[in-house]
């Protein structure tokens, strides 16, 4: 059916390029914007502990499984399942991934657009002299205003589409390699400032001291959802990136490096944000607005704050961009390879579809509040649906596929580069993806949805 020329497929050019791109995908708004407020809403330290547990026990194995599928098949997620499991229903997982690409990018570009507005405000000195109440009001008014957030969202989508259109080596790899190291330096700088604020210790206690009374089924599901979202797993992003990884690279090491980098940045973001949250008396459960209010407050108090706030919002936008390109690439690779479209046409079609859904998402924050149900607007629904339903479900089927369907020898051949690498933990990996990960995901998932009625389960 497809006439795509697979012998001429683009790929990453270097090991560092692979790590930069995959870490670029993982590290994003999920770490700096979402992690602090989800942790804040779900008990801080106790949440962090469960979150890290999930990254190690489930996240890394799922990520490796995605790399295994992708590199084995050298295809987009739908094509990969078609190739590895012909005439079966497994490609449906690939289709769920494409759907998730749309739902994730719709709300993600809304927030990414906010970062551009805040960058603009930072440059034009727009936070100067503002009190906490001013910042809260202004943020609320801005996100509900309709036109401005929409314009920024479209601008962001155009940037994303432009890089994806340029391809893997000359687009994604080239930009992530420059942008990711820069991000690390700035985050560390911000942590130093936050830690020297009066009252910083209270924020650190909140972030690191576990209070187990806060834990229930829903908190555990949120931790699982956040770990999947933050690692970019469960929807085929890393199947797609895996398909561009050279046969010589070490997949296990790549998965571990990317997961460590991702967790580190989430913790650093927590260290940069919670001390300020407590120092300025903001509630840690402030929700999606958290970083947009606390950070400008820190910057106002900071020597050289003008400079740092500009750099920070540039980097927040960059972190978001290196993630949005990875999500868009999933849909573009699918259209190009399975429906035989040119890269240009695939990029235009996928971006246009996503932008339309994204526009409704942004409008649901203000002008069209009726877009939603059960007290949640479309933005909240797409966010929760993606992180807490699509990604864990996708991850569940991915580990089942690699653990039970692909064949142990194929899997071991792929992670050891056909026997060239000695992978000491291969049996542990196999045991986890066959038993522990699927059972854990299924239990957390059902329990979090309140289906066992044991805990006070919750909203998605
Ligand atoms: N991991 C990205 C972040 O933390 C978001 C993402 C989710 C990207 C799923 C790709 C796939 O911002």
Residue 189's contacts (CB-CB under 8 Å, 6 or more residues apart) are 308
- Phi, psi of 373, rounded to the nearest 5 degrees: -155, 165
Closest residue CA from atom 10 of ligand 1: 232
Q: Is residue 459 in a domain? A: no
Domain membership flag for residue 457: no
Residue-wise pLDDT tens digits, 355-402: 999 999 999 988 887 777 777 889 989 998 998 889 999 999 999 999
Question: Ligand 1 in contact with 28 (CB < 6 A)?
Answer: yes
Question: For the segment 276-290, what is each residue's pLDDT rounded down to a tens digit?
Answer: 888 888 888 877 888
Give me ligand 1 centre to Cα 232, in Å. 4
Q: How many domains, the chain? A: 1
With bands split at pLDDT 50, 70 and 90, how would you rate the model's confidence at 415?
A: very high
Q: 323, 328, 390: which to mutate for ligand 1, most atoms within 8 A of CB?
A: 323
* Interval between CA 134 and ligand 1 midpoint (Å): 31
Instruction: Classify residue 259: in a domain, yes or no.
Output: yes
Q: Which band of pLDDT confidence, cut at 50, 70 and 90, is reported for residue 60?
A: very high
How far is the centre of ligand 1, averaged over its atoms, from the C-alpha of 420 (Å)? Answer: 32
Structural domain contains residue 455: no
Rounded to 5, what percent of the chain is helix, strand, coil?
75, 0, 25
Distance CA 284, CA 276 (A): 10
31 pocket-lining for ligand 1 (C-beta < 6 Å):
yes
Distance 301 CA to ligand 1 centre (A): 31
For residue 52, what are the domain limits?
Answer: 6-448
DSSP letter assigned to residue 8: G
Give the pTM.
0.93
Residues contacting 139, CB < 8 A, separation 6+: 289, 292, 293
User: Which of the residue ranges 86-100, 177-191, 357-371 would you say has the lowest mean pLDDT?
Assistant: 177-191
Give me 425's structure tokens: 């933990």
What are the C-alpha distances in Å from 432 to residues 56, 60, 195, 249?
11, 10, 38, 22
CATH code of the domain covering residue 232: 1.20.1740
Alpha carbon of 68 to ligand 1 centroid (Å): 19
Atom of ligand 1 nearest to the CA of 28: 12
Distance 359 CA to ligand 1 centre (A): 20
Give a yes or no: residue 456 inside a domain.
Answer: no
pLDDT band at 450 (very low <50, low <70, confident <90, very high): low
Tell me the pLDDT of the chain averaged across its residues: 90
């Amino acid at each position: 059916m497809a006439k795509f020329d697979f012998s001429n497929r683009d790929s990453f050019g270097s090991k560092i390029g692979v790590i930069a791109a995959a870490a670029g995908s993982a590290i994003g708004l999920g770490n700096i914007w979402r992690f602090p407020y989800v942790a804040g809403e779900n008990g801080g330290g106790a949440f962090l502990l469960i979150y890290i547990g999930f990254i190690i026990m489930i996240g890394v194995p799922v990520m490796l499984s995605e790399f295994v599928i992708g590199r084995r098949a050298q295809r987009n997620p739908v094509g990969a399942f078609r190739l590895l499991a012909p005439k079966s229903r497994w490609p449906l997982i690939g289709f769920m991934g494409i759907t998730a690409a749309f739902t994730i990018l719709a709300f993600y570009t809304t927030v990414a657009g906010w970062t551009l507005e805040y960058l603009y405000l930072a440059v034009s000195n727009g936070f100067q002299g503002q009190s906490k109440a001013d910042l809260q009001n202004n943020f609320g008014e801005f996100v509900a205003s309709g036109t401005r957030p929409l314009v920024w969202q479209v601008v962001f989508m155009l940037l994303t589409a432009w890089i994806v259109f340029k391809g893997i080596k000359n687009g994604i790899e080239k930009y992530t390699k420059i942008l990711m190291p820069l991000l690390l330096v700035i985050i560390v700088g911000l942590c130093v400032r936050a830690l020297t604020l009066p009252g910083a210790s209270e924020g650190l206690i909140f972030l690191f001291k576990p209070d187990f009374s806060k834990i229930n089924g829903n908190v555990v599901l949120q931790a699982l959802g956040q770990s999947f979202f933050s690692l970019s797993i469960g929807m085929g992003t890393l199947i797609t990136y895996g398909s561009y990884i050279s046969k010589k690279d070490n997949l296990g090491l790549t998965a571990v490096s990317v997961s460590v980098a991702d967790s580190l940045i989430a913790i650093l973001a927590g260290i940069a944000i919670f001390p300020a949250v407590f120092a300025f008396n903001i509630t840690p459960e402030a929700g999606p607005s958290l970083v947009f209010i606390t950070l400008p407050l820190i910057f106002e108090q900071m020597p050289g704050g003008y400079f740092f706030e500009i750099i920070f919002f540039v980097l927040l936008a960059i972190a978001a961009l290196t993630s949005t390109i990875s999500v868009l690439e999933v849909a573009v690779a699918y259209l190009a390879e399975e429906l035989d479209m040119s890269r240009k046409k695939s990029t235009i079609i996928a971006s246009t579809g996503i932008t339309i859904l994204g526009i409704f998402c942004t409008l649901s924050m203000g002008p069209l509040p009726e877009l939603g149900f059960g007290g949640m607007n479309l933005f909240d629904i797409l966010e929760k649906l993606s992180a807490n339903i699509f990604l864990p479900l996708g991850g569940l089927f991915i580990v089942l596929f690699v653990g039970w369907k692909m064949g142990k020898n194929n899997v071991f051949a792929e992670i050891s580069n056909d026997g060239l690498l000695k992978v000491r933990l291969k049996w542990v990996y196999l045991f986890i993806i066959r038993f522990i990960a699927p059972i854990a995901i299924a239990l957390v998932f059902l329990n979090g949805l309140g289906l066992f009625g044991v805990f006070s389960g919750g909203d998605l």
